[in-house]
Amino acid sequence: MIKSKYLICGAGGFIGGHLTSVLTKEGHNVTCVDIKPLEYWFQLFDENKNYSLDLKEYENCIAVTKDVDYIYNMACNMGGMGFIENNKAQCMLSVLINTNLLRASLKNNIKKYFFSSSACVYNRSKQEKNYILGLKEEDAYPADPEDGYGWEKIFSERMCRHFKEDFNLDTRVVRFHNVYGPKGTFDGGREKAPAALCRKIINAKLRKIDEIDVWGDGDQTRSFLYIDDCIAGTKKVFESGYSDVFNIGSEEQVSINEMIAVIEEIAKFKVKKNYLLDKPKGVRGRSSDNSFVSSKIDWKPKYFLKDGLEKTYNWIYDEIISGANIKKYGRE
């Protein structure tokens, strides 16, 4: 394998940490940047160059993009629905990261640039029912995305497109659909539904409590992508010759209630559900249509939801009972 020089922005985060792990094990020269102090990074590898910097600042983007060939931009201010709906301005400020990294890419002659977008860009009018057909890439238009976070993502997608058209910068864009798995946030307000529900059921079991809180009525649906599938799809899009926008998600659409039932089976513990109807819950239904990415680059997920949830549940369980890495991952 030819060794390359990669810059991972957001390397201290969940997806960025897993991507860094893979590229490091492959033997590449990897530079890692995240706004969090190093002790809060989810995964940290001493053999890499690791920097705690704010990439909203153009000077920092110029500095870290020197002497690298390829950029993966995984950096943004985000979390689960509770964070997104209550921090719209903070989410939108991430547009500065992508904009300044694109500018720096031109100045420092970057060969290829990757932007991580989100299913939150999709038109909300197409997600009003509990069960919907999978969203195709063209369903993002006419634009009516998730307020705040979704608008930032769709604007940044357009920036990548126009930097390719106007400046011939080779760009890649994917829309992630609810990525989950071990070595990520499971408490504190930024966690997503799979991790939050695993944590709640684990704590209920450990404390011998037979009830958990559920945001919404439990009938809202999503598809959830296991982290290993996410990384495999991300790398395959990056290494392809296509600059189209691609879904990287699962087509296995389930309701929150159905996911709770799967976790109960894994935990061998049943709970009653206390529905909190005043909590943020997002759109009613969302799932990925992978026909375009499958036809172009022959990628599809390998993990079924139950398999990924079992790995995630076991990891969170071990973290909770051991008290390990409380600063990084959270603990109730």
Cα(190)–Cα(194) distance, integer angstroms: 12
- Residue whose token pair is 């500018």: 103
Cβ atoms < 10 Å from Cβ of 216: 20
As a whole number of Å, the CA-based R_g of the chain is 19
* Phi, psi for residue 5 in degrees, rounded to 5: -105, 110
Q: Cα–Cα distance between 4 and 67 in angstroms, integer?
A: 11
Residue whose C-alpha is closest to residue 79's, from 6, 166, 174, 188: 188
Mark whether 40 is an active-site residue. no
Amino acid at 306: K
Give the closest residue to 93 by CA, choosing from 35, 176, 171: 35
- CA-wise closest residue to 149 among 91, 99, 97: 91
User: Cα dist. 7→31, 138, 240, 316 in Å?
Assistant: 5, 30, 18, 29
Catalytic residue among 70, 72, 149, 317: 149
CA 312 – CA 305 distance, rounded (Å): 10
Amino acid found at 213: D
Instruction: Say how many C-beta atoms besides its own lie within 10 A of residue 92's C-beta.
Output: 19
**Hey, which residues are catalytic here?**
149
